[in-house]
Amino acid sequence: MRLERLNYNKIKIFLTLDDLSERGLTKEDIWKDSMKWHQLFHDMLDEASAEFGVEIQGSVAVEIFSMQAQGMIMIVTMEEQDDEELLQDGFIEMQLIMGGDEEILFEFREFENVIQLAKRLNNMNITNGTLYAFKDSYYFYLSNQNANDINRLVAVLTEYGNPSMVSIHMLEEYGSVVMKDSAIEKLVYFFK
């Protein structure tokens, strides 16, 4: 499990499939109202509170993005309440918003792997995407992908790189854009 603070009231939690299986859970357990899932959620909130020194009380909105073959990302947003409301409540109200698999972000250590991936994706008629550079790695970001192609796409991406532990928000803020939007098309053109 990996935590990242996005802003003063928003925390990102990345759970791998291994994290879930260690706790006896699957991604499908999100849909069930199980005690294991509730326990995991409270453990995550406790860890986030300890790591970032924030008191998580009152209402929180939770967005869950399931990532095929990678795990899931949870964005926890703490809604602002005045002190009087917090005293009256004393509990956490949870609201779930499920996101799809439309966004993919992978990390590559070598630029040559990015070039080879671009040639392979181009053969699959995928020419979009954005390429970032951040801390000695390259990151390839794809959004708005057809949900039916996600499994095949992730399988190809894992041949060349790894699922990113860095969020797209972190890359947009601190990374450098190497090629915007049609990265695959540009890579194939320049590196024949």
Q: Which residues of the chain have pLDDT under 70?
A: 27, 30-34, 67-69, 80-102, 146-148, 151
DSSP 8-state code for residue 79: P
Statement to judge: residues 50 and 71 lie in one domain: yes
Of 99, 122, 153, the position where a domain reaches its end is 99
Residue 137: its pLDDT value, please?
A: 94
- Find the helix or strand (DSSP H, E) in which 120 lies: helix 111-123
Statement to judge: residues 120 and 95 lie in one domain: no
CA dihedral 120, 125, 129, 132 (to 10 degrees): 20
Owning domain of residue 9:
2-99
Tens digit of pLDDT for each residue in 71-83? 777 778 877 655 4
Statement to judge: residues 115 and 133 lie in one domain: yes
How far are the Cα atoms of 29, 65, 147, 157 from residue 98, in angstroms, in the given order? 13, 6, 14, 24
Statement to judge: residues 37 and 58 lie in one domain: yes
pTM recorded for the entire structure: 0.52
Statement to judge: residues 92 and 116 lie in one domain: no
Report how many domains make up the chain: 2
Statement to judge: residues 67 and 110 lie in one domain: no
